[in-house]
Amino acid sequence: MLDIDSIFSANGALASQISGFRMRPQQLEMAQVIAETIDNHQVLVAEAGTGTGKTFAYLVPAFLAGGKVIISTGTKTLQDQLFNRDIPIVRAALKVPVAIALLKGRANYICLYHLERSLQDTQLSFINRDEIRYLQLIERYAKNSKSGDKSELSEVPENAAIWQQVTSTRDSCLGSECPDYKKCFVMEARKQALAADIVVVNHHLFFADVMLRDEGLSELLPACNTVIFDEAHQLPETASLFFGESISTGQLLDLARDAKAETIKAAVDFVPLTDAIAEMEKAVRDLRLTITADNTRLSFAMVMQYADFDVALSRLLEKLTLLTRLLEDQAERSEGLENCRQRVASHLYLIQRWRDEIDMQGYVRWIEVYHQAMQLHATPLSIAEIFQKQMLSSLRTWVFTSATLSVKKDFAHFNHEMGLNDVQTAYWESPFNFAEQALLYVPPGLPEPHHKSYTEQVVQAALPVLRASRGRAFFLCTSLRAMQRAYELLQASDDFDFPILLQGQDSRSYMLERFRELKNAVLIGSQSFWEGVDVRGEALSLVIIDKLPFAPPDDPVLSARIEKINREGRNAFLEYQLPRAVINLKQGAGRLIRDETDRGVLMICDPRLTTKAYGKHIWQSLPPMKRTRELKDVERFFTGE
């Protein structure tokens, strides 16, 4: 019988499978603790610093434990990496006959019904030549693919508009009424997941299913012995999203599009329905136009001060009510029209609840505005009780792990947010030698972050450091506005001839590939590049962070939560805002040292790190690097003196 100590030993099963494998005490200890947790059906919250090898530390005990295991990751990219690379390595090393399955949300699989409808639809006037070519590639792929997973069709960009036409959502899926139900890729993926011993999902899917009982996990969870959350620091945000309610103008426009197509197919003779769909679509677009700002969040109270918004919302409700009535008359003519009827009724109910505050106690209502869309949200002020109920529903093991869960080894913030009481916690330092490999630099003389020329002064302080590092840098900003301004200032700077990449110019994966190839680039990014990004070696030798990542206090959800905590006589800054900022900062800082041979400088520009009492609390939560405020120390670090 295989035991954990021998598997992780220098001559063990993993070493025989992985070239360059080294025994790390932290990894072995973590695997042992997780094995005990699984044996005893307990709950474990564990932080393991970068380089610990936490993936293998939880996979090995998961394989050996027997029973059904669900592993939930932060992103679909990590899901694919686990399923295609890490799990096959461990399975080969342990020689254990374990069946594995990958399960994603339905929007990741081609829908044969919607594909066929798109191929027959002559009304797809927005489609350009590229999209027509993509549609043909998708048609060919769907005929030969076993999985129907769109990530396997790399010739069609992930953000291509055509994907919306050939995949389904929870709203637009016809379920067992679908003529293609028996050949459905989503149903096949669910079948495989039900039969598998280890199922890999992502946090969005996990919580969507827990709340909606829709994505195939509702059958998996009861039979599951162990749930492992990797990148668990993302859970409070993801759970808040799904434990609340939301409805977007995008969903309503998708409904209008589908209703049009279904009407042409099954009720073209009923003109009032066509007119009602057009009126509803116009009302949706008019609602979006009432808010001129882009990329903003507004509280319910603020948005209701816009007279146009309330009028447009009432008009939309009126048009949805009419459309519901007409679809009730016509729904029996096709499965597609019946689906549209159900969706209109559901959307109407959600918007009425949101506007009229029906049963919304304990929730904060707000809107999010994007370039072309608007989303109405009702978010719970606390997810702790809701999540606790899920955990107590049956006896199983729960493991929460990440490189960033604690503040100075204290897990109180994460545990409180998730409703985890009296659980076991564990902490392992990174095996990397940060004192030798990294330097923390806080430049002197910068103003407070609210100063009007703050970003200009940050860029001025960064320029000599960027020259010393010969580019090879991530410049991480806490807002899109600061990111854009830093880009403009660097571009306009004399005597700065390193390539500059800006988040949003292309897909994240392409930009990272380009950054690695150039070997002297400066990549300026916002939230997308703070986590889940791995650039090893000399291509990334400097990480600049413009300011401490405190969430903006005018954010409607944050301000409501702050008010609630303070109302209860607690200190929202110390209990909530500061721990969140520390965890986010640790994520950004974690981009720098990814390997035991990496070297680099972490430059945090925010003077509050040294001027405020809580600054010490923050830097003591970072890896133990040497610290300096002298530019010459940075220059010496890069010249190797």
For residue 49, what is the domain's CATH number? Answer: 3.40.50.300
**Last residue in a domain, options 318, 353, 380:** 380
Lowest mean pLDDT among 88-97, 170-179, 322-331: 170-179
- pTM of the complete model: 0.90
Average pLDDT over residues 127-148: 89
pLDDT tens-digit series, residues 277-299: 999 999 999 999 999 888 889 99
Pairing of strands 296-299, 363-369: antiparallel
Buried b or exposed e, range 25-61, using 16+ CB within 10 angstroms:
ebbbbbbbbbbebbeeeebbbbbbbbbbbbbbbbbbb
Identify the pLDDT of residue 552: 86
Residue 500 has pLDDT above 90, yes or no: yes
Task: Indicate if 29 and 91 belong to the same structural domain.
Answer: yes
- Residue 393 pLDDT: 76
Is 537 part of a structural domain of the chain?
Answer: yes
Question: Domain check: are 376 and 300 in the same one?
Answer: yes
Mean of pLDDT over the chain: 91
**Is the domain of 386 the same as that of 375?**
no
Q: Is the pLDDT of residue 216 over 70?
A: no
257 belongs to a structural domain: yes
At 106, the pLDDT band (50, 70, 90 cuts) reads confident
| 395 located within any domain | yes
Claim to verify: residue 568 and residue 621 sit in the same structural domain: yes
Do 367 and 462 belong together in one domain? no
Please check whether residues 292 and 407 belong to one and the same domain: no
- Domain boundary pick from 393, 428, 463: 428
Which percentage of the chain shows pLDDT scores above 90? 68
Q: What angle do CA 303, 308, 311 make, to 5 degrees?
A: 100
Q: What is the mean pLDDT of residues 216-222?
A: 63
> Is residue 176 situated within a structural domain?
no
> Are 71 and 425 within 8 A, CB to CB?
no
Please tell me the predicted confidence (pLDDT) of residue 476: 96
Same domain, 398 and 376: no
Tens digit of each residue's pLDDT (9 = 90 or more) over 513-560: 999 999 999 999 998 888 888 888 889 999 999 999 998 888 999 999
Query: Do 409 and 442 share a structural domain?
Result: no
Asked if 412 and 446 sit in the same domain, the reply is no
The predicted structure's pLDDT at residue 113: 92
Q: Which helix (H) or strand (E) holds 271?
A: helix 271-289
pLDDT score of 242: 86
pLDDT confidence tier of residue 172, bands split at 50, 70 and 90: confident
Has residue 111 been placed in a domain?
Answer: no
Residue 161 is predicted with a pLDDT of 84
Strand (E) or helix (H) holding 100: strand 100-102
Same domain, 335 and 231: no
**Residue 634 in domain:** yes
270: CATH:
1.20.1440
Same domain for 356 and 387, yes or no, is no
Question: What is the structure's pLDDT at 372?
Answer: 86
The confidence score (pLDDT) of residue 2 equals: 66
Binned at pLDDT 50, 70 and 90, residue 494 comes out as: confident
- Alpha-carbon distance of 580 to 603, in angstroms, equals 20
Q: Residue 91: what pLDDT?
A: 94
- Position 449 scores a pLDDT of 95
Which residue among 428, 463, 498 closes a domain?
428
Give the pLDDT score at 127: 67
Looking at the fold, whether 376 and 387 belong to one and the same domain comes out as no
- Which pLDDT score is estimated for 630? 96
Q: Which domain holds residue 332?
A: 243-380
Share of the chain above pLDDT 70, in %: 96
The pLDDT of 360-384, averaged and rounded, is 91
For residue 168, tell me if it sits in a domain.
no
Is residue 122, in this structure, part of any structural domain at all? no
Residue 496, pLDDT score: 87
Domain count of the chain?
A: 3
pLDDT tens, position by position, 418-454: 999 989 999 999 999 999 999 999 999 999 999 999 9
Q: What is the spatial distance between Cα 47 and Cα 60, in angstroms, rounded to a whole number?
A: 17
pLDDT above 70 for 215: no
**pLDDT tier at 66, thresholds 50, 70, 90:** confident
Give yes or no for a contact between 533 and 545, defined as CB atoms under 8 angstroms apart. no
